[in-house]
Chains A and B, each alone.
Chain A
Amino acid sequence: MPISYQQTKFNLFSLLPLLALFYISLNGITVLNINFFSINIHYILVYFWVLRQPKSLGYGFIFLSGIINDVVFGLPFGTSPLSLLTIAGVAAYVRTVTVRISLLNDWISFLPALLVANLINFSALYFSDYAIDYFFLFKTSIFTFIFYPILWIIFRLLLNLMKN
């Protein structure tokens, strides 16, 4: 059966989150540092797509991307997968218990996901004897939360393109 243009377009768009996930981990840009701002786009990407289109991001891929992130950044193996899968877990839970999709709902539920993931990240690094810049961790969490709506809008547009 010949593959239609629509199908190809859908497949291409549905691959974008996965490609973005691996691109940012391989390039070491999971935490964007722009002057004073630092945003963890890895967390936002995982949270949004597991929440809204779980088909696009498999848990196995999230785990693999976390391992790549650990190697590129020189962190102990398992630190990033643990925090990313926690984010994915909270997103999967929120998806199960909510019916209506709204930016506010997603944004508010992102806060506990962020807190738990950072706590796990911090604990893993602390017990691995890594000196941590607490201020950086705190600053990144705040800006990641603040910038969530901007990326939510971008991802939502992409999701609409996939669905159309």
Chain B
Amino acid sequence: MDTNRDDFGIAIRSAFLSRGTQQRFSLFVLLLISIIFLLFEKIETKPLNYSRSIIKDVIYRGSFLASAPTVGIKKIISGISKHIKLYEDHAKLKKENSLLKNNILQSEYYKLENQQLKKLIDESSNEEVDYLTARVMLDKRSPYLNSFVINSGSNKKIKNSMTVLDDGKNFIGRIVDVNFFSSRVLLISDLNSKIPVIIEPSGTHGILSGRGNRNVSLEYLPENHKTNDGDAVYTSGKEGIFKPGIPIGEVKLTKEKIEVLIYSDLSQISFVNINLTEFNLSK
């Protein structure tokens, strides 16, 4: 019995404490460093934040370079498939274009009407928004976080919690991690994402929650809510983090949940707009 215990101890010691052949570090030391790293993650001090930013920036650039061949091949394949579908897409886009032209005229009319009504009730509106356009540098579809990395950081005055919109100005997420030359955008589809929203035309308030995959659903709605298929979902501006009225998607009722079909295709985003103004205003 004692011999067995001794053998076990020797084997454990040999595996974790000894450096072994051609190993510069013992496992135990590296495990200890990993634990220290994890503990330091919670500590926010300037030197630590600087070092974290430098490490992240370097790795992001390295990852961008390392994945360049794969991204290139993917682009070629997608280019070929787009060419194959060219005629089909053209016909579809022609139809959509005429429909959108009608919608633009209608929305111009609503805009004017809205401005006049605002004047009537003396509501001052500040429509000037300062957007920063950034390119998506890394989109690795992490199994843990639905997020991507953009090529602008604190060098372009980006700060945590800023709103991120797609090129059509639809809401897609917020900034969660800022480095010197890069930032991470947490998408609305992520499990950690909870956005206060308003559903129109009923005016019902709720919380839009990510589910880890590319779907999002509505939660915390009042008991007798009147939400229908196709209702539009906008940011409500509650909690003062995001500007109200940014379009997100439309409601799709299923048996178990109230899902939201996001206007933006989160897997196809190359450029994003970051709202720099609203953060400064709220501060």
Cross-chain contact B56 with A71 (CB below 8 angstroms): yes
User: How many of B's residues come within 8 Å of A, CB to CB?
Assistant: 51
Q: Is the CB of A78 within 8 A of B37?
A: yes
Bound Cα distance from A26 to B70, whole angstroms: 12
- The answer to whether A71 and B34 touch across the interface, beta carbons within 8 angstroms, is no
User: In the bound complex, do residue A73 and residue B191 qualify as a contact, i.e. CB atoms below 8 Å apart?
Assistant: no
Asked if B60 and A71 sit within 8 Å, CB to CB, the answer is yes
Q: With an 8 A cutoff between CB atoms, is B79 at the interface?
A: no
Given contacts A28-B142, A74-B145, A74-B184, contact A59 B26 (CB under 8 A): yes
In the complex, which residues of chain B have a beta carbon less than 8 angstroms from the beta carbon of A96? 10-11, 14-15
Q: Of the candidates A28, A60, A125, which one forms a contact with B30 in the assembled complex, judged by CB atoms under 8 Å apart?
A: A60
Chain B positions 144 through 184: 1 when the CB is less than 8 Å from some CB of chain A, otherwise 0:
11010000000000000000000000000000110000001
CA distance A67 to B54 in the complex (A): 13
Contact A78 B34 (CB under 8 A): yes
- Taking the nearest CB of chain A, how far is it from the CB of B27, in angstroms? 5
Name the residue on A nearest B52 (C-beta).
A77
A33 and B143 within 8 A (CB):
yes
Among A2-10, A86-94, A99-107, A152-160, which stretch is in contact with chain B? A86-94
Q: How distant is A130 from chain B, measured CB to nearest CB, in Å?
A: 7
Given the known interface contacts A74-B147, A132-B191, the answer about A92 and B25 at a Cβ–Cβ threshold of 8 Å is no
Of B40, B59, B190, B212, the contact of A72 (CB 8 Å cutoff)? B59
**B34 cross-chain contacts in A, Cβ below 8 A:** 63, 66, 78, 81-82, 85
Say which residue of A38, A93, A124, A131 sits within 8 Å of B191 (CB atoms): A131
Query: What residues of chain B lie closer than 8 Å to A75, measured between beta carbons?
Result: 142, 144-145
Give a binary string over B65-107; 1 marks a CB under 8 Å from any A CB, 0 the rest.
Answer: 0110010000000000000000000000000000000000000
**Cα of A76 to Cα of B55 in the assembled complex, Å:** 13
Q: A-B contact count, CB below 8 Å? A: 149
- A149 CB within 8 Å of chain B: no
Q: Quick check: B27 and A23 within 8 Å, CB to CB?
A: no
- Provide the residues of chain A in CB contact with B25, threshold 8 Å: 58-60, 63
A54 B20 Cβ-Cβ under 8 A: yes
Q: Does A108 contact B (CB under 8 A)?
A: no
For chain A, residues 13 to 50, give those with C-beta under 8 angstroms from any C-beta of chain B.
22-23, 26-28, 31, 33, 38
Q: Output the residue of B38, B56, B60, B143 with the most chain A CB within 10 A.
A: B143
Q: Bound complex: CA of A77 vs CA of B177, how far in Å?
A: 13
Tell whether A128 pairs with B41 under 8 Å between CB atoms, given A28-B138, A74-B144, A133-B191.
yes
A99-132: which have CB < 8 Å to B? 124-125, 128, 130-132
Say if the beta carbon of B118 comes within 8 Å of chain A. Answer: no
Cβ contacts under 8 Å, A163 to chain B: none
CB-based contact A63/B30 at 8 Å: yes
**A79: Cβ under 8 A from any B Cβ:** yes
Verify if A97 is at the interface (C-beta below 8 Å from B).
Answer: yes
Residue in A54, A74, A130 whose Cβ sees the most chain B Cβ within 10 Å: A74
Which residues from chain A contact B269 at a C-beta distance below 8 Å?
none
Give complex CA distance A86, B16 in Å: 9
Q: Across the interface, which residues of A come within 8 angstroms of B66, CB to CB?
A: 22-23, 26-27
Contact B37 A38 (CB under 8 A): no
Given contacts A54-B21, A78-B34, contact A89 B16 (CB under 8 A): yes
In the A-B complex, the 6 residue pairs with the closest CB atoms: A28-B140, A78-B37, A92-B15, A78-B38, A26-B66, A131-B191
